[in-house]
Structures are given as structure tokens and as C-alpha cells.
Amino acid sequence: MFLGDIAKELIVASTVAFKEKTKVIAASQAQILSNFCGQKCPVINGQLVTGSDMDALLSYVEVIAATKWKVGSKYFFRHEIATRRGDR
């Protein structure tokens, strides 16, 4: 699983919801991102998205992108919990 793909899905879904003034449909992306980084995602499934929500989401994703993640590792609330076999 690549966090960038998940973040992109959430940004696209949020942008569509914002432009169409509908609730965002992103079943699990926000929760996955929150579990990885340990910070609550500013946009969740079923939420009406405002301009400030979009700004908060983009800032949130920038923080996640700037974090040093190890390829092949699994994280829970920003703590590394597992790596690929052979990496230790």
C-alpha cells in the first residue's frame, strides 16, 4: 500500500464533493491515513467539504508526504511496527 495513492484518492474524492456540494465518498482512505500518521484526517467519509476543509486536507497530506517513511515498513500512529522480512 502506498500512502501517496491513498492520499490522492481522498483528495480527488474531496475535491469532487467540494465542487458538487455533496458529501465526500471515501470509504476508508481517511482512516488509513490517520492510522499511519497518528493525526486525525480533516476530511472523513460522508462529510460536506468546505474550502477550509480542502486547505486543511492539503496541509495534512503535505505533512504526511514530508515524513520519512521506510519502504516496506508498516506504521501505526507514526510508529514503525513491522518491516519486510530480510530488512532487519
* Residue pLDDT, tens place only, 14-70: 999 999 999 999 879 999 999 888 889 999 999 999 999 999 999 999 998 888 877
For the residues 8-18, what does the mean pLDDT come to? 95
Task: Give the pLDDT score at 48.
Answer: 95
With a CB cutoff of 8 Å and minimum separation 6, the contacts of 36 are 3, 64, 75, 76, 77, 78
**Is residue 71 helix, strand or coil?**
coil
Task: Give the pLDDT score at 78.
Answer: 66
The pTM (predicted TM-score) of the whole model is 0.80
**pLDDT grade, residue 79 (50/70/90)?**
low
Q: Which residues pair with 74 in a beta bridge?
A: 82
Q: Which residue has the cell 467539504?
A: 49
CA distance 48 to 11: 14
